[in-house]
Chains A and B, each alone.
Chain A
Amino acid sequence: MFDFLDSGQYDLLGAFWVTVQLTLYSAVGSLVWGTVLAGMRVSPVPLMRAFGTAYVNLVRNTPLTLLIIGSSLGLSQTLGFNMGGSTFKETGFRLAVLALSAYTGTFVCEALRSGINTVPVGQAEAARALGLSFFQVLTLIVLPQAFRAVIAPLANVLIALTKNTTVAAAIGVAEAALLMKEMVENEADALFAVFGIFALGFCLLTLPTGLLLGWVAKRVAVKR
């Protein structure tokens, strides 16, 4: 039933490695971008708050497939913006990271904002009373406490991100879902075996993520 794994025709580990790389780069990108967005949404400047709110509501309500295909057809094919990639392989990967970060950043932002709400107002007031600027209050006092409160929700976002990388197959990034399409095309007689392998692969990626970050969340939670 699993004979096709031995044929050497399919690079299963390679494909999942691309999935892992997509996840890691996008996780870093969306963490940075999400933090910036959260900062904007709680900032005292009305224009920044308006931009943050508009961006989050626009992007998180747009289907990811649309964002990724849009980045490929719109940015790359039509406008010629290739993210410095010279082949479709490079360009596709970078565009996918861009779109995944832009999308996942909104969820990171909202998780973080709920974390900011768990920090007692007195903390920020005390910091302001010491003469710290808004930026200092946010980065030195509020965000460190907020992050420790939202590890568990961020783990959910990371798991969702891992699975969302499969959408990158739509623009030809050679990750797990693309290999699955190839296998389904070729191995008509072992359809369920193919599905089983990929279901297992994603469980192997996401289950440890959830367990590890669940443990971290318990360790670092601020006891109030």
Chain B
Amino acid sequence: MKVLKAGAAVATAVVLALTATACGSGSKDSASDAGASGGTKSDKIAIGIKFDQPGLGLKTPDGKFEGFDVDVATYVAKELGYQPDQIEWKQAISAERENLISNGDVKFIAATYSINDKRKARVDFAGPYFLAHQDLLVRADDNSITKVEDLNKKKLCSVTGSTSAQNVKKDLAPEADLLQQGGYSECLTALENKGVDALTTDDSILAGYAAQEKNKGKFKLVGLKMSNENYGIGLKKGDKELQTKINAALKKMVADGSWEAAVKKNLGPANYKNEPAPQITEGS
């Protein structure tokens, strides 16, 4: 890998040189920006969410935003002093989340963002505000999968390159026939047509799809807890003040019952048994 690495270093240097001129502000400048304007003074707040995950973060055809992540973000923004009409929603696709935060394009991100060490090298987290598990979605009349080992004889679908897909390939069921598609909607089509036997990713995401009006009654969750995904709110590295404020907002949301209500409203229709609100572990 020596030659590869040397070559890669050269290529990266070129890429970096190009992007450095394009992006301008280094992390230091934008950090001081955020500090100066922080709080209630500016009248808009940019928040990153997913636009394509029903039940969690979804942009509806009429331009509204709905889902559990949206409700959490709205509540947190309110605690930070912003009314819902002052929120500017930005799409945070998985690969771009760290860049959106470190470039200062968004104040924070609530988008099924699992806390892990690699990500903590680039951003800080508040929370976690939700505990999800990797799980399976199957057709409602299919009872053939009861444990993880059953997967080895099954056809499985997940999203290209996702953590769930990698877990299946490496650890959970290396012999399962894994179909990787561009999005969960394609997987649902395959599941409905019996092209695959199960769809795997976080149970919260699966519940969101199963709870959609057009899918009601067609699918069910198996309830295997194959991993722990602690969703956190991503924010700029080193912004302790914002982290403390968001943590306080999340605690308040759980305490006054809005958290439970938001889970029931967005994920409830799929008979999803959610975990209780997790303890805040970040930044304390």
Contacts and interface: CB of A to CB of B under 8 A. Distances in A.
Contacts of B155: 88
A199 interface: yes
Interface of B: 1, 4-5, 7-16, 19, 94-95, 97-99, 118-119, 121-123, 155, 160-163, 166, 177-182, 186, 189-190, 193, 195
A12 B15 CA distance: 19
B160 A181 contact: yes
Given A77-B193, A199-B15, 13 more contacts: A69-B186, A73-B189, A73-B190, A76-B195, A88-B177, A184-B161, A185-B162, A188-B118, A188-B121, A189-B118, A192-B16, A196-B14, A204-B7
Contacts of A172: 160, 178-181
17 contacts: A2-B8, A69-B182, A73-B190, A172-B178, A181-B160, A181-B161, A186-B118, A186-B166, A188-B122, A189-B121, A192-B16, A193-B8, A195-B15, A196-B11, A196-B12, A196-B14, A199-B11
Contacts of A5: 1, 4-5, 8
B21 to A, nearest CB: 14
Contacts, number: 112
A199 B195 CA distance: 35
A68 B19 CA distance: 32
Interface in A58-92: 69, 72-73, 76-78, 87-89, 92
B121 A78 contact: no
Interface of A: 1-2, 5-6, 12, 69, 72-73, 76-78, 87-89, 92, 169-172, 178, 180-182, 184-189, 191-193, 195-197, 199-200, 203-204
B12 A192 contact: yes
Contacts of B5: 2, 5
A191 B99 contact: yes
Is chain A's binding surface mostly helix, strand, loop or mixed? helix
A181 B19 CA distance: 20
Contact of A182 (B7, B97, B161): B161
Nearest to A8: B1
A71 to B, nearest CB: 13
Nearest to B119: A188
Contacts of A12: 1, 4
Contacts of B16: 192, 196
Contacts of A199: 11, 15
A188 B98 contact: yes
B266 to A, nearest CB: 25
A77 B204 CA distance: 26
A197 B8 contact: yes
Contacts of B178: 88, 172
Contact of A178 (B15, B94, B161): B161
B16 to A, nearest CB: 6
In the A-B complex, the 3 residue pairs with the closest CB atoms: A181-B161, A172-B180, A196-B12
